[in-house]
Each structure stands twice: as structure tokens, then as C-alpha cells.
Amino acid sequence: MRIAVIGVNHNDASVEIREKVAFCETKKIETVNTLLDLGISETIILSTCNRSEIYIVSKDLDKHIEETKNFYKEFFQVEDIENYLFVKKDHEAILHIYNVAAGLDSIVIGEDQILGQVKEALQSAMEVGCSKKILNKLFREAVTAAKQIKSTLGISEIPLSTSYIAIKNLKEELGTLKNKNILVIGAGKISSLALKYFEEEEVGTVYMTNRTMHKIEDICTECKKLHIEAIDFKERYKIIKNVDVVFTATSATHLILKKDMMPEIDHELHIIDLAVPRDVEISIKENKLIKVYDIDDLKKLSDENLKKREILSENASGIIENSIKDFYEWMKGIKFDPVIKSLNERCREIEEDTFDYINRKLELDCREKKIIEKMIKSSLKRLIREPINNLKDLNKEENVEQYIEMMNKLFNF
């Protein structure tokens, strides 16, 4: 079995492209079913504001890579999508998910949110049943390594996230955020982080809206220093006239702020749009009083700590390399799984045949049958226990495939 990742991310594709290939939950299920029908053994979809990636496990990797690339083209119907698709396989694919989980491949290097998104992607795939032994192990090990990197090297001590960078830049532009009125659209993790940063800046009134209002109530209890007013989603355009800043980060697949619905603006308005697909219609920025920042603008803003982060990335490589080495050892070991499974199945056949034979030849009561059945099972287990343990130890040998072939021939599996 081999591993690959195929997708689009911020390294090669702008937000205009990324928002067109973002996976909503419905698209994820449809994609998973299509890929499994193609014969792909396992798959996980990781879709965030920075990336839209499909991880696959396959015996016929090159064939399935091409089929996955074709799927992207046909499913999303994005012109010249092949110019933005990247492919990594085997070691490169394994290294990629480690870097992604640790935040080392993010627009904001070392940001924390991606770790949760990787865990959620794994959990979703496990619930659907499209991720099995190999990808489950890989993603779990990548998450564990990411946690170790953050705790050992102190990456999380520098509070970097897309929300933090955007708000920090806004403060620099305005000089201060004190007493500025804010409209926050969306009640997800990005918006929750933004509120924590706004809390530190002594902002004025924070108007908050979301399609499901109960989420806002939960957030209000966490941000007690802020004066938050929950407003109906339909009232968002009216409130815009009264605020200095709009922060939006929803998971909607359609525009949240449209140009033709915007009120007349008579003051400078700053809009931070961290959603992918974007929440704000591009043409809104044609108004000279309105400044709009999207996720790609953060690339220009996050260079401040880049040198420090590069040093941390170099230091993280040792943790990642050790974890990947252990993963390879595990991968070698599971090559024997089919042989071990066949051995156990053969023992069960012998056990059943032997017990049936004894049962036909002797008149046994219930107690005697249970004793004999237990003895047969125990004897066969003892017989294969040592060979199985020795097989597992052979994963350190280079010629694993030869041992597997030999076992298959010896036992006629």
C-alpha cells in the first residue's frame, strides 16, 4: 500500500481558486463515495481556508492519482485547475501531513487552528468509514508530533493565527482599536478567536450576528469584557452604517455581503474577510471609503515573525523525522497482517475440523465438549504464537517481501 495527497493549497493557488474547490460536507460525502468506487483503499479530505486536499491509500497509486486529478477537474469544473493541483506521494505525502498538522505549511506559520482541523478531518473520515488502518495511524501520529513540537519548542507561545495577524495589522493602520465599533459575522472558531483579540483592545460595541443565534449566546458568556449585542442576521446591512470594522468568517457557500445591498457609507470602513469561499463581494472595495482584506492579504502581513518561525521549523524537523521513522517501521509490520490473518483463519479451520471429528467419534457431555474445544484452541494458539511474534520482529529486515512470499508458499495462502 502507498500513500499520496492530491490537492490545491495557498502555495500555488490564490483565494479565488481555493474558494472554487472548497469541500462542503455534502461534497465531501459525494467525493468519498466516488473515490472508494474507483478502488481507492482509504481516503481523507482536508478542506480549510488554506487548502483543499485529498489523501489516498492505494495499491495502484499512480493510476489512482490520475483518477483523483480527473475527479477534481470534472467535479469542480474550474478552468485550468491542473495548473494549480499538486501531487505528493510516498515520503513527500507523509512529510506533508506532518508539516500541515504542525502549522508549518500554513499562511501564518505555526498557527494553532489547523491542528484541530486535521483532527476533525480524521474524525469525519472515520465516522464515514473511508479512513482505515493506515491513514488513521498517519494522521494520529502527525497530530501527536504537532503537539510535541508546540509544547517542546514553544511555538504556541507566539500567538499567531489568521485572526491575530489581521487584527494586528488593522490596529497598525488605525493607530488604535479603542472604542471602535465592530460587526462580527459568524460564530465559528475564527470569529471566537477574533473576539478574544478585540477583548484585549478595549473596543467599543461589538455587534454579532449568525444564522443560528444560540451560538452567539455561548460566545457572550466567554467574552465578558466585551459589550456584545446580538443582532438578527437580516439586520447586518443596517448595522454596517454604525461600525468602523466588519469581521466576517462564515462557512457559507454564497456571498454574505453584496455590493448592491450595502448602505451608503460616509466614513472609513475596514472589512476583514477570512472566509473561504469569501463572504464579501469583490466589487465592494470599489468604494474608496471601504478597505477589504481577505485571507491572501495575510501572506503580506505575516513576515514579521518569519525568521523566528523558520528557526522553529528547523528545530521541529528532528521530531518529525523520528515520528516518520517510527511510522515506516509500523508500515513494514502491517505488511504481515494478511499472513497473520491467514494463519489465524487456518487455525480456526483446523480447530473446527478436529472438534467435529472428536464429536463424531466420542459421546461427550456438554462439560467435556467445552474442555476439549478449549484445549484444541489453546494448543493451536501456542503453536502459532512464536512464529507470529517472530514475523512482527522481521519488520526491521530489508527483505520483508521475501519473507511474506515464503510464508504464502509454505502455507499455500
The residues facing 46 across adjacent strands are 53
Which residue spans of the chain are classified as CATH 3.40.50.720?
Answer: 162-288
Which of 24, 49, 223, 347 is catalytic? The answer is: 49
**Contact of 84 with 8, CB cutoff 8 Å:** yes
Q: At 52, is the secondary structure helix, strand, or coil? A: strand
**Contact of 108 with 299, CB cutoff 8 Å:** no
If one looks up domain 2-158+307-333 in CATH, what number appears? 3.30.460.30
Tens digits of residue pLDDT in 348-357: 999 999 999 9
**Residue 179 or residue 344, greater confidence:** 179
223 a catalytic residue:
no
b/e 351-368 (16+ beta carbons within 10 angstroms → b): beebbeeeeeeeeeeeee
Which residue spans of the chain are classified as CATH 3.30.460.30?
Answer: 2-158+307-333
pLDDT at 305 over 60: no
Question: Domain 162-288 belongs to what topology?
Answer: Rossmann fold (3.40.50)
For 345, what's the count of Cα atoms within 13 Å in the CB-facing half-sphere? 9
Q: Which amino acid is at 318?
A: G
Tens digits of residue pLDDT in 356-405: 999 898 888 999 989 999 999 999 999 888 888 887 777 665 677 777 78
> Above pLDDT 90, what percent of the chain?
61
Q: Which amino acid is at 184?
A: V
pLDDT at 274 over 60: yes
The model's pTM is: 0.76
**Contact of 119 with 269, CB cutoff 8 Å:** no
pLDDT at 1 over 80: yes
